[in-house]
Amino acid sequence: MSLTALICDDSVLARKQVKKSLPEGFAAEILTASNGLEALDILSSQEVGVVFLDLTMPELDGIGVLEAIKARQLKCVVIVISADIQPEMQKRVAELGALAFIQKPVNSDKLAHIMHQYGLI
């Protein structure tokens, strides 16, 4: 599968955790961004299949990224990975077109289950 994945989180640890939790050989390339603006830069310059997106970030937060993806009609799918799991937030994220919502701390079982559910693996 020649899919490109993007992990967007302001925490180095969180990015590493997601990267390590991804099923092996799932993506051809894994890119990272430490805030929303960086993520949008990458999304506008190359094709990305799936974005793993944190919500609370400096510069531009996850909601901002989702809004921009929707406005620009980008084709990537988004899986939100957040510590902030209040139902209102989950609802908002779903309305903005996110595929799924995963509560931190992320682990490979959780991630594999969700990705399997949505046919990503």
Partner 1 sequence: MTMLTPDQQDALQELMNVSMGLASDQLARFLDTLVHLQVPAMQVVRASDMPAQLRELYADKEAHLISQGFIGPAGMQGEAMLLYNFSSAKQLAAILGYQQSEVSDAEMLTDISSILTTTFLNSLAAQLGSTLSYSAPRQLNCQNNQLVERLQALASRWNVALQVNIQYQVTDYAFQCDMILLIPGTALQTLQQQLDDILQDY
Q: Per DSSP, which regions of the chain are E strands?
A: 4-8, 29-33, 50-53, 77-82, 100-103
- Least separation in angstroms between residue 90's CB and partner 1 is 12
Closer CB to partner 1, 67 or 84, in the complex: 84
- Least separation in angstroms between residue 97's CB and partner 1 is 22
- Least separation in angstroms between residue 103's CB and partner 1 is 7
- Least separation in angstroms between residue 14's CB and partner 1 is 5
Closer CB to partner 1, 17 or 43, in the complex: 17
Q: 79, 51 in Cβ contact below 8 A?
A: yes
Burial code (b: 16+ CB inside 10 Å, e: under 16) for 49-58 equals bbbbbbbebe
Closer CB to partner 1, 61 or 76, in the complex: 61
CA dihedral in degrees (16, 17, 18, 20; nearest 10)?
A: 80
- Report the interface residues with partner 1, using CB under 8 A: 11-14, 16-17, 19-20, 56, 82-88, 103-105
CA 17 to chain centre: 13
